Structure 1
Amino acid sequence: MLVLVALAACQQAPNNAISPERLPPSINPADPAESQVKEAVLRAYRGMWQDFASAARTADWNAAELRDHATGDALLILRHGLWLAHRNGEVIKGQPVLDPRITSLVPMPSPTKAKITDCVDDTDFRLRGKSSKPGKEDWPAGRHKTTAELSLRKDAWYVTAFVLREAGTC
């Protein structure tokens, strides 16, 4: 997952990043419409990671499912990471462990933009040579602070950008 970490870390955090002390009020769980939006946002974010893990098993940077939940910079990062793994004769095995939290939904009451903060654990999501031997990983596995931006497009949520920090940041 070194490739993905390096590429995602190169993406700059948005200048309008919200510090934890200034997070907006949480979504009203009693409002069914807000709960449905929240579920759809989290489903899109988790779906992006599931799509990536599936394509990573064969380092298929052209996998059609990558576009199911990601677009823009997020899609470019995923595809480029898989292309580099493919070029190096490696694949990524396992699954990342996610713990996403929605930090922003705007504008209310009909949001079209969302932000997520996560702590992605890649301990069991590692590069391997195609023969299942360990890959050329020279970075520590662990928990990576991750931020993601999502947009509502044609009635579906997509991850448009994300930043995956180095291991040990959460």
Structure 2
Amino acid sequence: MLMTACGGAGSHPSADSAPPSVPASGSPSASPTLSAADAAKAKILATYQGFWKIQEEAYSTGNLNGLPVNTYAVGQAAAGITSSVDYYNSQHLVVRGHPQLSPQVTSVNLTTAPYSATITDCVDTTTFVPVDATTGQPEKLNSSVHRHIWTFTATYDNVQWYINSGSINRSGTC
């Protein structure tokens, strides 16, 4: 079970498009001030990147020993990593390469606890392929389509953001 994702553009303005803050003197400050939503988005994307790095390492080595999965993933997302490692091991496979990610935080709820977010990503697994762990020969895949839209949810526990679930849309590509 390989986790992957495809992105849609968010409707929220980026920090780059936010007007600079103006100090009491009336002159613009040296750098713009991030809104709470923009600061949260940056932390969510950092968590998401860590979530993928953990998967890459786990799938390429065939084990989770020493990997801080729970630093980035909880619930279904953490269980998915574990079950994917188990599946690849049962098939004598490891995964080589790196997926191409293009995540967008498409919604953020900072109003009602627990805070939550949605990440949409177009994950391209063209160069992230399962291979025989002994011979290195690529595994024959059921599909030649390597780009799919994934939607992930993230939650905040008053300390940090975690990826807690993900789903793939196999009915199309991105």
TM range (shorter): 0.7 to 0.9
State the match for 2:105 in structure 1: 102
Structure 1: how far apart are the matches of 2:40 and 2:152? 16
Q: Which amino acid aligns with 1:88?
A: Q
Q: CA RMSD in A?
A: 2.7
Instruction: Find the counterpart in structure 2 of residue 69 from structure 1.
Output: 72
Which of residues 83, 88, 91 is equivalent to 2:86?
83
Q: What is the alpha-carbon distance in structure 2 between the residues aligned to residue 58 and residue 24 of structure 1?
A: 35
Matching residue of 1:11? none
Equivalent pair of 2:114/2:157 in contact (CA under 8 Å): no
The equivalent position to 2:147 in structure 1, one of 143, 146, 158, is 143
Q: Please identify, of 66-75 and 120-129, the stretch whose mean Cα deviation from structure 2 is larger.
A: 66-75
Give the aligned residue type for 1:4. L
Match of 2:28 in 1: none
Q: Take 2:80 and 2:66, find their aligned partners in 1: how far apart are those partners?
A: 13
Deviation, 1:167, is 7.9
* Number of corresponding residues: 153
3-state SS in 1 of match to 2:170: strand
Listed as ranges, the matches of 1:123-134 within 5 Å are: 123-130=126-133, 131-134=135-138
1:80 shift after superposition: 0.4
Structure 1: segments with no counterpart, 5+ residues: 9-19
- Indicate if the aligned counterparts of 1:150 and 1:157 stay in contact, CA closer than 8 A: yes
Alignment-mate amino acid for residue 139 of structure 2: G
Which structure would you say has the larger RCO, counting Cα contacts within 8 Å and 6 or more residues apart? 2
Larger Rg: 2
Name whichever structure is richer in helix by fraction: 1
**Secondary structure of 2:37 counterpart:** helix
In the superposition, relative to structure 1, how do residues 107 and 37 fare at CA in structure 2: closer, same or farther (>3 Å)?
Answer: closer
Whole-Å separation in 2 of the counterparts to 1:24 and 1:57: 32
Partners in 1 of 2:105 and 2:168 — Cα distance? 16
C-alpha spacing 1:168/1:122, structure 2 compared with 1 (3 Å): farther
The yes-or-no answer on 1:165 pairing with 2:169 is yes
Contact kept in structure 2, 1:69 and 1:159, CA below 8 Å? yes
Q: Supply the distance in 2 between the matched residues of 1:79 and 1:141 (Cα, whole angstroms).
A: 24
Give the Å deviation of 1:156.
Answer: 0.9
TM-score (norm 1): 0.78
Q: Give, in whole Å, the separation in 1 of the partners of 2:10 and 2:138.
A: 43
- Report % sequence identity: 27
Deviation per CA, 1:72-112, whole angstroms, max 9, x where unpaired? Answer: 00111111011100111100111111101111111349982
Secondary structure class of the residue paired with 2:2 = helix
Shift of 1:27: 4.6
AA in 2 matched with 1:76: A
Which residue matches 2:2?
Answer: 4
